[in-house]
Amino acid sequence: MPTILTYNINGIRAALKKDLNGWLFAADADIVCLQEIKAKPEQFDDAAFNDLGYICYINSAEKPGYSGVAILSKITPKHIEYGCGIEQIDFEGRIIRADFENYSVMSVYFPSGSNSERQGFKMEFLALFHTYIAELKKTIPNLIISGDYNICHQAIDIHNPKVNKNSSGFLPEEREWISQFIDSGFIDSFRHLNKEPHHYSWWSYRANARAKNLGWRIDYNMISTTLLPKLKRSQILPAARHSDHCPVLVELAD
């Protein structure tokens, strides 16, 4: 079973200028799930990752310089699924799935609720995605859904839960969605192994938030409950600074 990293890199071209490929060489994960690549395939420097032993699979948004996800894999997949077949969300390039022999890995970039219209789209996305996954699990029971969920699940996952109780990303209905998603047969791999507070994966660029560790934990490696016996390790890696997010690792034993 693989070691997987999820990382919202907030622009692949900017991240490569900050030596993302050098960092990935040292990290040596089997599979890397990227979100918010902000690049069309022709703008994505495959060679930088091919040199590290990765094959690159990219699902870009129709809108230039926006959204987009990718999977980099040292293991050759049996199949790559670009999007999820739901027209009203696939045009934003938010989902890609790699199918391997006994499991599948998804890189997903959930919408943010930056305004009331986008918050409505976010809630629609969450409902459609949950239905899609429930159907997918019938044929692919061993799923690893990695990505930027843009939701903090519990008070422990955000630096100031009282102040942010009405903020998109910590709204009661969003948190309830995460609870229901977990209850449908998933494990939050990091929180399952790490119960301590003050572990975050995203920090605002404002007010020196990262230096003060005033963050949000919105990036997850959710694994099917069937994979729980194989869950070996999960870590947030805040020392990596190519983005306003940091990578989150999960390691599954053979």
Give the catalytic positions in this structure: 148
Q: Is the distance from CB of 72 to CB of 112 less than 8 angstroms? A: no
For the sheet with 55-59, list strands across it: 55-59, 69-73, 31-35, 3-8, 248-252, 231-236
**Could you tell me if residue 93 is left (phi over 0), alpha (psi between -120 and 50 degrees) or otherwise beta?**
left
For residue 121 the two structure tokens come to 């789209």
Amino acid at 81: E
The tokens for 124 are 């629609």
Handedness of CA 30, 90, 92, 158 (dihedral sign): negative
Residue 200 Rama label (left phi>0; alpha psi -120 to 50; beta): beta
Place of tokens 């071209």: 13
C-beta of residue 35 within 8 angstroms of C-beta of residue 66: no
